[in-house]
Amino acid sequence: MFHIRFKFVYPGLLALYSFMNIRILGGDRLYQADLTYDKLFVTVVALCYAVWFSNFYIEKFAGFDPKKFHPLLVQFLGSLVAVSIISFLSVSITGIILGEPYDLSFQNLILTSGFAFRINLFLNCVNAIFFFSKKFREKAVEAEKLHTFNVSARLETLNSQINPHFFFNNLSTLSVLIHENPVKADEYLQKLSNIYRYILNNRDKELVTLKEEFSFLQNYIDLLSIRFKDSLKFNLQVDNDLSNLMLPPAVMQLLVENVVKHNYFTIKEPLEVFIKSDSKELIVKNKKQVKEAVEFSTGIGLQNISDRYRFLGNEIIILDKEEYFEIRLPLISANEDTHSRR
């Protein structure tokens, strides 16, 4: 505290207050006899500045091991020694200059020391408040950094889950196509490559634009069209005017994959997936044609999406009705500060 910007001003203000307290408000005396106003003011100012700057130099030059001695303890004990010397010198000097009854005596030393020690105690109390307030702010900043690091690490973990989850369900299909239809297999591989490139480019991002995500989804739908032909249909109603809105990357693909995983569909009984958006949310909806046995999965899907939205301060809405299944994803404005909502 003693190194603050206005260190030459604060001792003067403290001296002015002390002078008014002694002379006007009837505070304690410094000597056995009253000093005149001018001499009292000079003495009080000198004592306040001496106490302040003795603490200033103790804080600046005192060497100590913070593991063994608390800095406030070193500061206070050092200031007690310094103030004792200041009090002795003050009474000695006034005795030389003013003579009786202001010379060096036990009574004058006790009165002057009492004033100087009160000033010192007040300053050290304020210094302790300043010290702990600074430490509290540092701990708060450190805690926020750790929280941000933890959130980033967990979000990165969630994003990294997309890759194995996605490719687990597509490599087997590619293997079959290579033997049955090499041309389709090549097309499938190209689409798969585009999807993988999108995931890699956006794996460290919290949000992408709806336009980017929709373009990515089109590639994934093309994969499904190669794989399932006309047994799986998509009804897309995404307004181009909303393309500046944002959402976590690859969530649309995970939702469509979730539909494929849990529902059966054939040429005779095709499954239609409805995807539409407005200014607030993206909706993915399908009629329920539940499989008797669901294919093996890593179980990431909806939980992954829910966790990623929770990091952004939002919640997804899941409507699991008897006839249909619907997911509602909040769309986030590009100007919205997602960090402040965590």
Residue-range definition of the domain harbouring residue 109: 10-151
The count of domains in the chain is 2
Q: Which residues neighbour 259 within 8 Å (Cβ) at sequence distance 6 or greater?
A: 271, 273, 284, 286, 325
Establish if 3 belongs to a structural domain: no
Establish if 35 belongs to a structural domain: yes
pLDDT tens digits along 59-73: 877 655 556 678 888
pTM of the model: 0.52
Torsion of CA 297, 197, 252, 255, to 10 degrees: -10
Q: Which residues neighbour 124 within 8 Å (Cβ) at sequence distance 6 or greater?
A: 55, 72, 75, 76, 79
Domain boundary among 151, 175, 198: 151
Domain boundary among 83, 118, 151: 151
Establish if 196 belongs to a structural domain: yes
**pLDDT for the residue numbered 129:** 84
State the Cα–Cα distance between residues 250 and 195, nearest whole angstrom. 9
Kindly state whether residues 74 and 186 are assigned to the same domain: no
Give all strands (DSSP E) within 181-258, no chain letters: 208-209, 232-237, 246-247
Kindly state whether residues 247 and 134 are assigned to the same domain: no
Kindly state whether residues 122 and 203 are assigned to the same domain: no
pLDDT tens digits along 185-240: 888 888 888 888 887 787 777 888 888 888 888 888 988 888 888 899 999 888 76
Pair 51, 120: CB distance under 8 Å: yes
Kindly state whether residues 177 and 312 are assigned to the same domain: yes
CB atoms closer than 10 angstroms to residue 280: 12
> Which H helix or E strand runs over 284?
strand 281-287
340: pLDDT strictly greater than 50: no
Closest CA to 216 of 234, 197, 203: 197
